[in-house]
Amino acid sequence: MTTCELLAPAGSLEKLKIAIHYGADAVYLGGKDFSLRANAGNFTEEEMAEAVSYARSRNVKTYAALNIFAKNQDIPAIESYLDFLKGIWPDALIISDPGLIRLAQKRAPEISLHLSTQANTTNYQSVLFWQDKGIKRVNLARELGLEEIKNIRKKTGLELEVFVHGALCISYSGRCMLSLYLTGRNANQGNCAHPCRYAYHLQEEKRPGEFFPVEEDARGLYIFNSKDLCLIKRIPELLEAGVDSLKIEGRMKGILYLATVVRAYRAALDAALGRKGGEVFSIEDALKELAEISSRQYTENFFYTPPGEQDMLYGGSSVRQPFIPAAVVLKGGPRPILRANHVIRPGEEFEYMHRSLRQTRFEVTTLFDAETGVRLEKTMGGEVVRIECRPRISFEPYALVRKRNC
């Protein structure tokens, strides 16, 4: 295979620009409704229009998520939303509800349809079914292993997309009632409260505030707390299997996570594709880079065999955070304008994250208010500042600056 797409999440316009900066070939995003990530920030209609045009001008594709399981009362608003999408023309809709597929094909027939993982496609007959229905691409169920993916590829001609990185859901292809049942927040409407990762105790109704431990085994009670998916080492096999798109999960993840994962997968995919030009990194280099962000440890899930006890985190959900995102570059050059994410003080040391798997350490020597030019002693998160630094670096817009978390 000579090409394969790297598909990254875009939970906001800024995240979209960061994902593109670090090498995404395509990004997926959601409007304020109907996209299964109600808390992702998401895009207003104006932002979506800007996102599609920004990405297109950089030869990056945009896929708009419309993957809720709709109720009758949702349909009129979805019709209007489809009319809007038709106007801005993203490269595809990510969709799973058969009714919405029918509606989209009538209302916005020019936009390609990608079947969401929520549709739970686990065999080649299902892929052929969706091919007959006019679907262009299928995101295969996360419950599939390599041999099953290869078999589907041999027997079908649709584009195949596979999740390669991110948090894993206990439920079969994300169809889960746990959150709705325990918290009233419906995962299938994009509002999951992630109760599968809570710590549970028992409380007797006449003894409020007294919590009794519940022990399923010696380690305590768990419902499900999977390690995170990471298939970066398996990219060569996925290319060999004929997969068309590698998808990174995480529209709700932070900017540092996004930048790190996208550039790591970009480097690994380029290495696997044998792309030359620029700096060449190996998949092992990319794996080391992934170790620099917080994770719940990694699993390859169903890739070779179904997951077992070793793929769960029974000890808790805590994550390690080696770096913090210090700032996003808004305007590049040797004296860049940054939007600070955390406190920045002159004299402190930071790392500039290049597009490749390289960073340059630098010291902020002087800090100015970007608007007034007034010199500052420090800046708080959210403020826009101009910096001078040592050594001088040519900063690029939408690159990230990180700081070691001591």
By beta-carbon proximity to ligand SF4, the closer residue of 158 and 169 is 169
By beta-carbon proximity to ligand SF4, the closer residue of 49 and 170 is 170
Shortest Cβ distance from residue 252 to ligand SF4 (Å)? 11
Shortest Cβ distance from residue 65 to ligand SF4 (Å)? 15
By beta-carbon proximity to ligand SF4, the closer residue of 36 and 238 is 36
Q: Which letter, b or e, does each residue of 102-116 get, where b requires 16 or more Cβ atoms within 10 Å of its Cβ?
A: ebbeebbeebbbbbb
Shortest Cβ distance from residue 179 to ligand SF4 (Å)? 4
By beta-carbon proximity to ligand SF4, the closer residue of 174 and 336 is 174
- SS3 at position 68: coil
Shortest Cβ distance from residue 195 to ligand SF4 (Å)? 5
Shortest Cβ distance from residue 175 to ligand SF4 (Å)? 8
Using CA atoms, how far apart are residues 246 and 3, in angstroms rounded to an integer? 11
By beta-carbon proximity to ligand SF4, the closer residue of 186 and 379 is 186
Which bin fits 152, alpha (ψ -120 to 50), beta or left (φ > 0)?
alpha
Shortest Cβ distance from residue 162 to ligand SF4 (Å)? 18
Q: Which residues bind ligand SF4 (CB under 6 A)?
A: 169-171, 174, 176, 178-179, 187, 192, 194-196
**Distances from the Cα of 122 to the Cαs of 15, 307, 311, in angstroms?**
31, 16, 21
By beta-carbon proximity to ligand SF4, the closer residue of 194 and 354 is 194
**Distances from the Cα of 33 to the Cαs of 65, 70, 85, 216, 406, in angstroms?**
9, 11, 13, 38, 39
By beta-carbon proximity to ligand SF4, the closer residue of 131 and 297 is 297
Q: How many CB atoms lie within 10 A of CB 63?
A: 27
Shortest Cβ distance from residue 42 to ligand SF4 (Å)? 18
First to last CA, the chain: 43
CB proximity list for 393: less than 8 A, separation 6 or greater: 334, 352, 360, 362
Contact by Cβ (8 Å): 23, 399:
no
